[in-house]
Amino acid sequence: MPTLLLLNGPNLNLLGQREPHLYGADTLEDVARLCREAAPGWEVREVQSNHEGALIDAVHAARGACAGIVVNPGAYSHTSIALLDALNAFEGPVMEVHVTNIHRRETFRHRSYVSLRADGVIAGLGVEGYAAATRRIVQLAG
């Protein structure tokens, strides 16, 4: 059974609990359910961390073990060359998701280092973006 790594970065554990006007009412648990529904026959490995090194470790652990990665790197999108380097060492497809439209927000959110590696980027679809990204991973990995 192929495995999808669903990787969420800093503060996304608060999804559905704070700032619903910006990030919506769905929780990370709802996100995982959406991904499972979008990838029947796949196992979904969920990792959320507020720590950059833990996210990098999860990408390393996915090498040779996961068929694809759906990642919302949170604010590390805009700062982390280290996460980009880790994703560059992963052999499978990578989809980057942002709940909000980062291009309609502050200019510091417009650039994502992770986008240099991602096979696709989805922003502004709310949590539905995770489902679309998962479907794309299934297509690319299948």
* Residue 21 lies near ligand CA2 (rule: CB under 6 A): no
Considering only 35-43, 45-53, 74-82, 87-95, which stretch makes contact with ligand CA2 by CB under 6 A? 74-82
| Backbone torsions φ then ψ of 74, nearest 5 degrees | 60, -145
Q: Whose structure tokens read 């982390």?
A: 80
Task: Report the half-sphere exposure of 109 (CA within 13 A, side-chain side).
Answer: 14
Q: Does 24 bind ligand CA2 (CB under 6 A)?
A: no
* By CB under 6 A, residue 99 contacts ligand CA2: yes
Say which amino acid occupies 13.
Answer: N
CB of 65 to ligand CA2, least distance (A): 25
Euclidean distance between CA atoms 131 and 142, whole angstroms: 16
Largest separation between any pair of C-alpha atoms in the chain: 41
Tokens of 11: 């503060």
Exactly one of 48, 49, 72, 80 binds ligand CA2 (CB under 6 A); that residue is 72
Positions touching ligand CA2 (CB under 6 A) are: 11-12, 14-15, 18-19, 23, 72, 74-75, 77, 98-100, 102, 109
